[in-house]
Amino acid sequence: MFHAQSRRYRHIRRLKDGGFALNLDKLMIEQALIYDDYFVPDAEKLVTEDDTPVDNFASAKQQRLLVSSVYSSQQEKTFLAESNVGIFHTANQPAIVPDVFLSLNVSVPENWWDKQNRSYLVWLFGKPPEVVIEIVSNKVGEELGDKLNIYEHMRVSYYIVYDPSGQLGEQLLRIYELRGMRYCETKETWLEQVGLGLTLWEGEFEGRQDLWLRWCDKEGKVLATGDERAQQAEQKAQILADKLRELGVDPDSL
């Protein structure tokens, strides 16, 4: 602050010596110089990973489904989707580590082994993620308490709490949308600001039949994983081959 103020006074003195009158606009410019030096936390002092395994099989598989499907189905868009990666949001505070987050129009820096690029530093990316998802596995995770308050303070547009085992009550899915300064719970599963929706889907993923939380389009069609896209392509190819055979054409000869 002292450096910025000294620079301001030197500039004002120089203007006076040069015979220029200080009008309101110039004073406003000079005043802004006071605030152009701001504190940026030292990334080398941040605990970006501690190698502590904390998740269970079900949560890990659910996280993998959410992250892999958005990457395989939204390849033309720029975004960052990750699970169990820390978000540093406030100086001198530890990271909060959501189960899944989605941040639009950002990407991982090229040198991701640099300390400042290993986690999501809000002051470097310039914004918080648009969506954060927490998967409830016990009653002590503070998903409806401290975590909700932190994400609200961070101004995350949508906070999703998925409670597949009913730890917090009978409601499996809670969606909070930021309106002004506060979260409001909503029944709307289409996340307008990100152009994606969420739905509960009964089916098989990685050999496990269960109820899953999935991304979907506005019509409710789930975003396919890479394996599902491959299966769909194979099915279309088989249908085409069958039609060719009906017409007396051997598809293997084409």
Predicted local distance difference test score (pLDDT) of residue 235: 78
Handedness of CA 6, 12, 14, 17 (dihedral sign): negative
Show the tokens assigned to 215: 């991304």
User: Which letter does DSSP use for residue 170 in this model?
Assistant: S
Predicted local distance difference test score (pLDDT) of residue 123: 94
Angle at 169 between CA 167 and CA 173, to 5 degrees: 90
Predicted local distance difference test score (pLDDT) of residue 199: 98
Predicted local distance difference test score (pLDDT) of residue 176: 98
* Pairwise CA distance, residues 29 & 39, whole Å: 21
Model confidence pTM above 0.75: yes
Alpha carbon separation from 236 to 46, 100, 239, 241, 247 (Å, rounded)? 50, 32, 5, 9, 17
Predicted local distance difference test score (pLDDT) of residue 50: 57
Predicted local distance difference test score (pLDDT) of residue 42: 66
Predicted local distance difference test score (pLDDT) of residue 54: 60
Instruction: Give the H or E element holding residue 208.
Output: strand 208-216
Do residues 225 and 208 lie in contact, with contact meaning Cβ atoms separated by under 8 Å?
Answer: no
Taking only the tens place, the pLDDT of each residue in 175-201 is 999 999 999 999 999 999 999 999 999
Predicted local distance difference test score (pLDDT) of residue 47: 56
Predicted local distance difference test score (pLDDT) of residue 72: 94
φ, ψ of residue 53 in degrees (nearest 5): -75, 125
Predicted local distance difference test score (pLDDT) of residue 7: 38
Top-level class of domain 43-221: alpha beta
Tell me the mean pLDDT per 10 residues along the chain, length 254.
39 38 40 47 60 77 97 94 95 93 94 89 96 96 96 98 96 98 98 98 96 97 91 79 78 76
